[in-house]
Amino acid sequence: MGFVKDNGLSIIHLLLLFITNHVCATTAETKVDFIFGEEIPQDVANNGRLTLDNYLSRYPVPVSEDQIKSLQKNIPNLMRQAAEPFGYFDCVCKSSIAKKESWQVTIHCKMPNVSTISDISIQVQGPGKAAIEADLAKNPIAIQPNSIFSALK
């Protein structure tokens, strides 16, 4: 039994070359760990992590120090955007970076009072009024007066 050869390399050699390159590429990637202060609500931290990961996805790996510094300059705006869907419209964030085995980005934010819904008024006009009002009676909207604003409702 022989191995099929292509340009003098056996399939086993090609597999070993692929595995070696994959392992080297994986270990060469520089990981970025985001550490959020306890003052940041978990929903905001989760959305912030997604937003920051999305920002970093524009860069090739490994992530360089210049790219991390670029991220750090944008963290106040990116975290403000991540907080808005949860009712925090004026948070002020700052960050620090440290290089260990991975980049560690620590984020702290001053979270203002969360926005609340004070009043809701729905007025329906037109030929579908009866159907819409019947639907609203069967399925009330999730937003209620004095509830915390959330874009997820």
Q: What percent of the chain has pLDDT over 90?
A: 55
Band of the pLDDT at 153, cuts 50, 70, 90? low
Looking at residue 24, its pLDDT comes to 34
Q: Which two tokens stand for residue 67?
A: 């790219």
Question: Which residue from 18, 28, 96 is spatially nearest to 62, judged by alpha carbons?
Answer: 28
* C-alpha closest to that of 105 among 95, 114, 113, 115: 95
More reliable by pLDDT, 14 or 122: 122
The model's pLDDT over 66-104, given as tens digits with 9 standing for 90+, comes to 999 999 999 999 999 999 999 999 999 999 999 988 999
**CA pair distance 35, 39, nearest whole angstrom:** 12
Give the tens place of pLDDT for each residue, 104-114: 999 999 998 99
95: nearest Cα among 126, 60, 116, 71: 71
Q: pLDDT per residue over 18-40, tens digit each?
A: 444 433 333 335 689 999 999 99
Per-residue tokens: 46: 């989760």
Confidence of residue 121 (pLDDT cuts 50, 70, 90): confident
pLDDT at 33: 94
